[in-house]
Amino acid sequence: MKQRTKTWVALAENDLSLAGDLLNKKGRAYYAAHFCHQAIEKMLKAVISEKTDKVPLPTHNFKLLLDQSALKDIPVKTKEFIFSMTPHYIGTKYPEDIAKLYKSYTKIFVSKLYKNTQEAYQWLKTLLK
């Protein structure tokens, strides 16, 4: 594995770990959603780095990153989940209404998001072996 790829993976692992830690802290579930997004973003960038030998685009847009990765045969469930993550970056990073944010990102909702993030993360990681 290339050094640049290892760096992306290490960053993704840190984000996923932080998401798990935040999930269990009262009033911090929405932060966990943000770091779930970040973990997937960085794993996509690791795949791009490793498989295409290109520098990943400086974007949070998963459609652009998936296009750059040139991945084929992505499981439908994984692809749908990755695309569903896009709003969690904007919504948690730039909330228009903090009360609505807290209400939307319940512990139950973010727990499911975290579980699905772990699954997508593991699938992306298998592409690096």
- Which tens digit of pLDDT belongs to each residue from 78-125? 999 999 998 888 778 888 888 888 888 999 999 999 999 999 999 999
| Amino acid letter, residue 72 | K
The domain ranges of the chain are 3-126
How many angstroms separate the most distant Cα atoms in the chain?
44
Distance of alpha carbon 65 from alpha carbon 56, whole angstroms: 7
For residue 90, the model assigns a pLDDT of 78
**Cβ(55)–Cβ(43) under 8 Å?**
no
Q: How far is CA 64 from CA 86, 106, 112, in A?
A: 11, 29, 25
The CATH number of the structural domain formed by 3-126 is: 1.20.120.330
Q: What is the pLDDT of residues 34-53, one digit of tens each?
A: 999 999 999 999 999 999 99
Q: What angle do CA 50, 53, 56 make, to 5 degrees?
A: 85
The per-residue pLDDT for 129 is 84
Spatial contact of 71 and 40, defined as CB atoms under 8 Å apart? no
